[in-house]
Amino acid sequence: MKQVTQTLRTGEINIADVPVPALQDSFVLVRNTASVISAGTEKTKIDMGKKNLLQKAQARPDLVKQVINKLKTEGISKTLQTVSTRLNAPSPLGYSSAGEVVAVGGLVEGIRPGDRVACGGAGYANHAEFAAVPKNLVVRIPDGVTDEEAAFTTLGSIALQGVRLAEPKLGETFLVLGLGLLEQIAVQLLRANGCHVIGTDLDPELVKLSETYGATGLQPGSDVINACKELTSGHGVDGVLVCAGTSSNQPIELCGEVTREKGRVVVVGAVRMDIPREDYFKKEISVVISRSYGPGRYDPVYEEGGHDYPLSYVRFTEQRNMQTFLELIAQKKLDIQSLITHRYSLEQAGEAYALIEGQKREPYLGIVLNYLEGKGEAKGAAKAGTGSSVITLQPKPVDKSKLGLSFYGAGNYATASLLPILKNETGIEFRGLVTASGRTAQGVADQFGFSFCAGNYSDVLGDETDAVLVTTRHDTHASAVVAALEAGKHVYVEKPLGLTVEELASVHQAYGKAKDRQVMVGFNRRFAPLTTVVNSHFSGVKSPLVINIRTNAGAIPMDHWIQDPKLGGGRMIGEGCHFVDLASALANSLPVSVYAVGTAKPGKSALLNDNLVITLTFANGSIACITYTADGSKAIEKEYVEVFGGGRSAIIHDFKQAVLFSGDLDKNHKKLPAQDKGQKTMLQTWLAGLKSGTPSVSYECLMANSLATILAVESMTTGMPVKVDLSVLG
């Protein structure tokens, strides 16, 4: 299918061939018929892309700080690779569209194939022939509303949420600052609420347009303060909607002067907000910032998980705002057709963006992209419209003398830490790449030289693939490993191998039937150069080892996907598994029991506890203590490892330095130029194992350490040690 994307490095607009996005249980697959360009938001994104690197850095100091921190820990080479990958990645544009439902996920209620729907959400309702949209961001289009009108639903919901927060009452007077697309809709919404509306803008034509919707227009240069006083008998307006986008503080200052005592100011646009205390304090003016489409926005549980808020507690969510907007159009209380100034086909998207960038000198307001006109089926659709297309990027014969690698997932870790390493390895070829959304697949596949990209995991399990690398979110790992083994593929999976004992059991059973297929889990720290140094230091020691691992992990927001029990499984399972495996590698033995305790905190279940201590016993008598905390200071190193045994000791400082001790006085330092957690050696060792037929790490070891991690959470719930026994997997 075709999709409009922007290259972040240059700001260049492209119309790319990308796979149709895969359908998920709580999502709806839609064939778009129309989408609307949000001139303000999208122009800002394009302008940012066209800045040079210095200008980008000046505009986003927060990202510069992240880069500096990465330089300190991971060195210049890996940091530059990460930055380059992100800048070269295609970014989708658009967030408001309408179309026809092609297929629905199994958890979607009230929508069926063939329905006309409006769609919202950045990253979902893009300018593309097909869109996979979460069910809470999809609403049916009423009869009498055209697809073009419905394509404005997300933009209209932004205006509607601002009006709701203003709490308009019959007979009140509102000032609308700025009269662009959102503001013209806001004017109509306020008029529908029985309010008097004053509108002003720097463009006289937009002021005139607002007057056709019943506003009192104030042309550029008008005395807004006196006009508001005259029109309100000297009291001031009841409220102001600030929809303009500007770095100036003048709009906020103006609001304080024109608003009555105990009036309301609602900020919808991106404006400077240095609120002058005098006017706002004396008048006790309320200031509210409107959050996009309404309640539910930026809540992954609502948007991605599909969990609605009860209507009795949250009357108007973002989805119910979308429904209201469409109903108002159907009732003829909103005129959307008169806001459309330009229509383009998807192939003409470049002309549309030239318009908002000022390359074409003509006024514009509502810009609509239309799809499928005279084209029949959209390119890239499967026969029934529900499958995913395969996009061939580098047509060439498959070289069977080389190991064919395919990827399922292309997130930050894969593009920064795995693909750059593998790209430089000889004897391999990148075959297929699949991502859940499909929108990033083509850009990453082009960058790293894949033969094709696709939208369905099954598309990379064909004869051209020898081994699959699974780098998706945690909830898909186990099922993806099972599917790969059943298809006769070797498989590398990022940690964790599974989120539950049941998921590990499904992998265990599939592995038992897969004959000589190898499974590798991305436990890279066992391959770190300093881990190897420490293991060599204790070579020949026959007594059990005592191992202490302290991880100062730092906090992650509770709305991050890894904190979702179903998606990420919590930080112990999602990241703590690294340190269980590291302890096993240092002990050179398998875990036989695990005991864990965690701090008691409100809102932290055992599964999501990220402040805990784990003790492990190993088959050779070694013991390990793992302290994992999210509450420490960033001023100290993240990972600190101590090993004791046989009159020897060793310390690893954040995988940048190791200190070795023997006897009373001997001390040996090993310092690396940059942090190395072993990814390169891990991948090279894995590839060597595939070619030789001998796994780099035994399956029993990987499975035992994965099981011990999950059982650590069980131990926290029972307060008792738990035996690590692979027989529980069947």
Residue type, 664: D
Q: pLDDT for 310-346, tens place per residue?
A: 999 999 999 999 999 999 999 999 999 999 999 999 9
* pLDDT band with cut points at 50, 70 and 90 for residue 245: confident
Find tokens 């129309």 and name the residue: 34
> Does the pLDDT of residue 371 top 90, yes or no?
yes
> What pLDDT, on the 0 to 100 scale, is given for residue 148?
97
> What pLDDT, on the 0 to 100 scale, is given for residue 44?
78
* pLDDT band with cut points at 50, 70 and 90 for residue 74: low
> What pLDDT, on the 0 to 100 scale, is given for residue 45?
78
Q: Which of 102-106, 120-124, 370-374, 699-703 has the lowest mean pLDDT?
A: 370-374
Average model confidence (pLDDT) for the chain?
91
> Does the pLDDT of residue 378 top 60, yes or no?
no
Strongest mean pLDDT among 2-16, 253-267, 447-461: 253-267
> What pLDDT, on the 0 to 100 scale, is given for residue 379?
39
State whether residue 215 is helix, strand or coil. Answer: coil
> Does the pLDDT of residue 388 top 50, yes or no?
no
Q: CB atoms < 10 A from the CB of 395, how many?
A: 7
* pLDDT band with cut points at 50, 70 and 90 for residue 116: very high
When pLDDT is averaged across residues 352-362 and rounded to a whole number, the result is 86
Q: CB atoms < 10 A from the CB of 561, how many?
A: 16
Q: pLDDT for 421-477, tens place per residue?
A: 999 999 999 999 998 766 677 778 888 999 999 888 999 999 999 999 999 999 999
> What pLDDT, on the 0 to 100 scale, is given for residue 280?
95
* pLDDT band with cut points at 50, 70 and 90 for residue 5: confident
Comparing 70 with 596, which gets the higher pLDDT?
596
* pLDDT band with cut points at 50, 70 and 90 for residue 375: very low
> What pLDDT, on the 0 to 100 scale, is given for residue 250?
93
Are the C-beta atoms of 98 and 35 separated by less than 8 Å?
A: yes
* pLDDT band with cut points at 50, 70 and 90 for residue 411: confident
* Torsion angle defined by CA atoms of residues 149, 151, 154 and 159, in that order, rounded to the nearest 10 degrees: -30
> What pLDDT, on the 0 to 100 scale, is given for residue 321?
97
CA-to-CA separations, 185 to 25, 536, 641, in angstroms, rounded = 34, 70, 60
Q: pLDDT for 185-209, tens place per residue?
A: 999 999 999 999 999 999 999 999 9
Q: pLDDT for 539-568, tens place per residue?
A: 999 999 999 999 999 999 888 889 989 899
- Provide the token pair at 55: 């200008």
Q: Which of 208-217, 378-387, 579-588 has the lowest mean pLDDT?
A: 378-387
Q: By C-alpha distance, which of 590, 624, 615 is closest to 700?
A: 590
* pLDDT band with cut points at 50, 70 and 90 for residue 386: very low
Are the C-beta atoms of 155 and 269 separated by less than 8 Å?
A: no
Q: Enumerate the β-bridge partners of residue 104.
A: 28
Question: How many CA atoms are closer than 13 Å to the CA of 234, on its beta-carbon side?
Answer: 0
> Does the pLDDT of residue 72 top 70, yes or no?
no
> What pLDDT, on the 0 to 100 scale, is given for residue 305?
87
> What pLDDT, on the 0 to 100 scale, is given for residue 412?
84
> Does the pLDDT of residue 262 top 90, yes or no?
yes
3 burial (CB, 10 Å; 0-12 / 13-18 / 19+) is buried
Q: Enumerate the β-bridge partners of residue 626.
A: 549, 614
Are the C-beta atoms of 42 and 110 separated by less than 8 Å?
A: no
